[in-house]
Chain A
Amino acid sequence: MSTAEIQVKHLSVAYGKKNVLHNIDISIAKGEFIGIVGPNGSGKSTLIKAISAFLKPSFGKILLQGNDTQNIKREEMARMLSVVPQHINIHFPYRVYDFVAMGRHPYQSIFSLTDDKEEKKHVNKALEITDTKHLANRSVLQLSGGEKQRVILAAALVQDASILLLDEPTASFDLHYQIETYNTLKKLNQDQQLTILAVTHDLNIGSLFCDRLLMISEGRLVADGTPDEIVTPEMIEKYYKIKIDHGISENTGRPFIVPTGKEV
């Protein structure tokens, strides 16, 4: 097999003395759409931050296209990988257009003009993809939660990286925008071979859109497989400690779950 897009090797991450991730091994090929699932506090966000090299491994390493993330230059890495964090606190009234254009940072220097034609094309395309073009002149401080999150996604897309990490990107979306956003991601994934890792709490979304799911529990990778293998009553009961009804969708052939209201 050729070099994997992302290779996580024996990764451990600690906050101070507290180990948050233990000895994790994952190999991800270019163009995979991967969901990271697991209960709260299991280390999903930490894994995303470690892959983006924001957190240093206390043991092990992470390779992006064969190169150790600790040795990749910051700007070069920003052209390989972009992130959509759980939330961004914005303190100043950036115009939506300018906010999205800021995602072009790794391609610009002090002397770059923001009204460059090529740059405009990138920004407008991302605004179109995320259905936020009509917001371009609004202040980011005035957007609703869902609008803001789509604008943040647009800013990650203009970064033009081949890997996209998302941390619960649709937590504040209504059902329509959840599905629309994941459809957009799926399309980018299929058309442009974009490699996607998304933390999600919604196992049905994960089942419907992801090729592969990683279950993280108490800092360990406890299961790694297709939605058919992961979204099962046994798995959910074991790691989420609830009873569920489980079925296979007639329309998509994918497994889905409905909580029964009983805890284990």
Chain B
Amino acid sequence: MFTIFKKGSVWGLLPFVIFFLLAVLICPMIGSVNINIWDAISNMGNNSESLDASILFITRMPRLLLAGLTGAALALAGATFQALLRNPLATPYTLGVSSGGSLGAVLAIKFGLDISLFGFSDIAIFSFIGAGGTVALVFLLSKSKGQLPTPILLLAGVSLSFFFSAMILFVHYISDFTESYKMMRWLMGGLNVIEYGEIIRILPFWFISIVLLLYKARDLDQLTLGHYIAWSRGVNVARTLKLSYFAASMLTASVVSIAGPIGFVGLIVPHTIRFLIGPSYPRLMVASIFAGAGFLMFCDTFARVIIAPTEIPVGILTALIGGPFFIILLFKEKGKLSYEE
């Protein structure tokens, strides 16, 4: 049915690039206020003089930029963890990056730790530290003879995740209403309250992680078949595991620290791409970047306008749109996944 998605060639990537470009073109136009795009662009830089320019460049663009970066990051990190853990159910959050990050954020809200460092807010800093600390902890718990055995990695990550979730609930429970609302709101994920500065500061982490992961794309492809077969084909298994684990975690942590734990993108985007152009990793990873970015940009635009002037947290919308779409796709394509037992 999807004949434009040519399997086995670079042309299969084209639809995802087009999807991304459509998001870039359409999303800035949509909002509770109609703007004249030419007026906005011609007044670029003079935001104080033109309302259109100020809406486009100060309100919508930074938010859209963050949506793109976050969507790309979560989709790519999801695809990576699915290969690293050889498990189709893995997400960027499976190994506890998001619950660690959330615990950091919740603690920052509860104790009002009013620090800011290089322009990062206290919540962003603590959530990044929480996420990074969790990665390091899972790594130290799982490392055995220079290897990262998958079952131990999963057990360590998932159990830490549950432990941190319990701590989040505890902190939540002892908080007052204002704190509690702030926490809930952060945990739902959102792309508002954003200025360019914050985005630019996570950009180095984002960019370096993505380059590293694309550089390892071919090796990750082999790893989905198991460590032994990957090794026999020339993959340095231990090094690839460590490098991709850290790069994918850093990528996730960098966007979670600002946008909160936006769910579902890391699971459904890579799987949808697998259904459309197959599971081959180099193409899957490039497609994930474009499709993830486009998907979250569209979702966030809907979140802004669907019950305007009120906004829905985008994390709710990714699940509300993504869930049914993915379930329909799964139902139609499940034949491809069936094992002959």
Residues of A within 8 A of B (CB): 49, 52-54, 74-79, 81-83, 85, 88-95, 97-98, 102-103, 105-106, 108, 110, 113-115, 139, 141-145, 159
| Least CB separation from A105: chain B residue | B233
Number of residue pairs across A and B with beta carbons under 8 Å? 102
Residues on A with beta carbons closer than 8 Å to the beta carbon of B232: 52, 54, 78, 81-83, 85
Residues on A with beta carbons closer than 8 Å to the beta carbon of B214: 110
A54 touches B231 (CB 8 A): yes
Q: Nearest Cβ in chain A — how far from B124, in angstroms? A: 33
**Among B10, B86, B215, B279, which residue has its beta carbon within 8 angstroms of that of A93?**
B279
Q: Nearest Cβ in chain B — how far from A60, in angstroms? A: 19
- Given A91-B87, A93-B336, A94-B278; A83-B8 close (CB under 8 Å): no
A90 touches B218 (CB 8 A): no
CA distance A227 to B339 in the complex (A): 39
Cβ of B3 < 8 Å from any Cβ of A?
no
Q: Nearest Cβ in chain A — how far from B27, in angstroms? A: 31
**Among B233, B278, B280, B282, which residue has its beta carbon within 8 angstroms of that of A106?**
B233
Residues on B with beta carbons closer than 8 Å to the beta carbon of A53: 231
**What are 19 sample pairs from A and B whose C-beta atoms fall under 8 A apart?**
A53-B231, A54-B227, A77-B234, A82-B233, A88-B229, A90-B224, A92-B88, A93-B274, A94-B279, A95-B8, A98-B8, A98-B278, A105-B234, A105-B235, A114-B280, A139-B337, A141-B339, A141-B340, A142-B339
CA distance A64 to B82 in the complex (A): 35
B234 touches A110 (CB 8 A): no
Residues on B with beta carbons closer than 8 Å to the beta carbon of A114: 8-9, 280
Q: Nearest Cβ in chain B — how far from A57, in angstroms? A: 15
Cβ of B107 < 8 Å from any Cβ of A?
no
Most buried by A among B215, B274, B336: B336
CA distance A141 to B341 in the complex (A): 10
B280 touches A108 (CB 8 A): no
B278 touches A93 (CB 8 A): yes
Cβ of B338 < 8 Å from any Cβ of A?
yes
Cβ of B221 < 8 Å from any Cβ of A?
yes
A89 touches B86 (CB 8 A): yes
Cβ of B162 < 8 Å from any Cβ of A?
no
B222 touches A105 (CB 8 A): yes
Most buried by A among B88, B229, B336: B229
CA distance A128 to B214 in the complex (A): 33
**Among A85, A91, A145, A159, which residue has its beta carbon within 8 angstroms of that of B228?**
A85
B218 touches A110 (CB 8 A): yes
Residues on A with beta carbons closer than 8 Å to the beta carbon of B335: 142
B225 touches A142 (CB 8 A): no
B228 touches A141 (CB 8 A): no
B215 touches A110 (CB 8 A): yes
- Within 286-341 of B, Cβ neighbours of A (below 8 Å) are at 335-340
Residues on B with beta carbons closer than 8 Å to the beta carbon of A98: 7-8, 278, 280
B278 touches A91 (CB 8 A): no
Residues on B with beta carbons closer than 8 Å to the beta carbon of A145: 340
CA distance A106 to B280 in the complex (A): 16
CA distance A159 to B217 in the complex (A): 19
Interface string of B3-40 (1 = CB under 8 A from A): 00001111000000000000000000000000000000
Cβ of B226 < 8 Å from any Cβ of A?
yes
- Given A74-B236, A114-B8, A139-B336; A92-B228 close (CB under 8 Å): no
Q: Nearest Cβ in chain A — how far from B65, in angstroms? A: 27
